Amino acid sequence: MLSPSSQPYGTTQPGEPVDLYTLTNRTGMEVAIMNYGGTIVSLRVPDRHGNSDDVVLGYDKLEDYERGQSFFGATIGRYANRIAQGEFILGKKTYRLARNDGRNTLHGGVKGFSKRVWIAKNDSGSSGHALRLTYLSKDGEEGFPGNLSVTITFSLPADDNELHIDYTATADGKDTVLNLTNHSYFNLGGAGKGDILTHQLRLCAQRFTPVDATMIPTGEFRNIAGTPFDFVRPTAVGEHIDADNEQLQYGKGYDHNWVLDHEHASSLDLAAEIYDPESGRTLVILTTEPGIQFYAGNFLDGTIRGKGGKMYKHRSAFCLETQHFPDSPNHPEFPSTVLKPGQRFHSSTVYRFSVR
């Protein structure tokens, strides 16, 4: 049986030990994940010349992840993205959450899943390396109702440069809301190596969910045709990012949710493809989720010192976060994020790397 290697990665401020697990395969891919925050610390893939490089942003030390507010590589929950005014109604009861984004709740609150230590277990088999992480989020944590048991499995097939992330969850005691994703920042040219404005992006989506000035969805499903949000055909990220457009002004560039063109609800379908002409690396994303948040690193400003002492500059990375829609608990017209006791949540996302 294959098994990921592990090593101590440090101790949290409260005194919890954290380990780093490295998954490798036979075709040149390597992924390192720590059980603090279920965080992808590094992801190495070859370029068109066979040279391997780390293509995700992050830090060198655990304490930087503890202090950091950018969610580099982290598992996000209970609720990825924003919830308006930090509250929602469920079963005629109003739940008030920790607010950490102005008046809104962002990525699970002050101490969401990205700031928790998960229990890790080797889940590998003959077909490749796998790491299973589990966490029990107790009733009332960050204001969310009900006990929630979450399992995330990261798997790396032995012969394919693909990272699979499978999420499962069950609720106990009360209805709750749930939206899980991974918040890796990618630069296919290599972490800290220039901007991502020449990356060619394609999104399998005809609509997006526009937002107000606080980045909360208005409830509209807007067609992307003829707008800077049209990535139906491969388009350079930087081609329209500074266009005179109210939505781009709100996000200081792209930081929006696209409505994916699923053939069938919850089927594992193509969501996005992005290509770096310089390195030749291509990333294809498949998911069962109904939406994907494309963020172009607009708030990176050169003040964050990352791995190897590199400064992460403006638009030097992108995120493609597979998800349910922002603020869904307050929008009945959106796909539901309610999880009831006795139900089982399951979601899958695949990151497939290749070269041209």
Residue positions annotated with a catalytic role:
183, 321
Cα separation, 20 vs 43, in Å, equals 13
Neighbours of 87 (CB within 10 A): 17
- Of 183, 224, 179, whose CA–CA distance to 202 is shortest? 224
Cα separation, 89 vs 134, in Å, equals 28
| Token representation of residue 210 | 């526009």
| Region of 259 on the Ramachandran plot (φ > 0 left; ψ -120 to 50 alpha; else beta) | beta
Rounded to an integer, what is the distance from CA 184 to the centroid of its chain?
5
Distances (CA, A) of 151 to 67, 135, 147: 25, 7, 13
- Which helix (H) or strand (E) segment holds residue 82: the answer is strand 82-83
Cα separation, 298 vs 311, in Å, equals 15
- Of 320, 331, 332, whose CA–CA distance to 83 is shortest? 331
